[in-house]
Amino acid sequence: MRYLTDRKRAVGRGSARSGTQHMWFMHVSSIALAILIPFWVYIFGSALGQGHDQVLATFAKPFPSILTGLVLVVGMRHFAAGAQTMIEDYSHGATRHALVIGAISLSYAVMATGLYALVRIAL
């Protein structure tokens, strides 16, 4: 006979975990992206038709490079959290763990590659 209370059975399941924290992170990051993306699209669009030297000069300035770095970091963190939620909702077992690790690894790889290229341009 098991003498577990209802609270003891509920610990670690459902709303008592990190769902609220995840929801707030997704809301804050989506608001940050809604503010950052239009500015970044304007800067990227102005550099789009230019030659190599003008593009390097544009992204060598502090504001465009910092904005691009923020878009990369916030965007990839937002992607990783959203992909993890989607995978956890629709996958089970070892496949779930492998897919979550893959999605998070992909987001960090894109983030690292983008930041490396940005640092190479800016410095």
Domains of the chain in start order, with CATH, are 20-122 (1.20.1300)
Give residue 14's pLDDT. 58
- Looking at the predicted structure, is the pLDDT value of residue 1 above 60? no
DSSP assignments along the chain, one per residue: -----HHHHHTTSGGGSSHHHHHHHHHHHHHHHHHHHHHHHHHHHHHHTS-HHHHHHHHHSHHHHHHHHHHHHHHHHHHHHHHHHHHHHH--HHHHHHHHHHHHHHHHHHHHHHHHHHHHHH-
The confidence band for 6, taking pLDDT boundaries of 50, 70 and 90, is: confident
Q: Is the pLDDT of residue 121 over 80?
A: yes
Where is pLDDT greater, at 118 or 4? Answer: 118
For the segment 74-107, what is each residue's pLDDT rounded down to a tens digit? Answer: 999 999 999 999 998 899 999 999 999 999 999 9
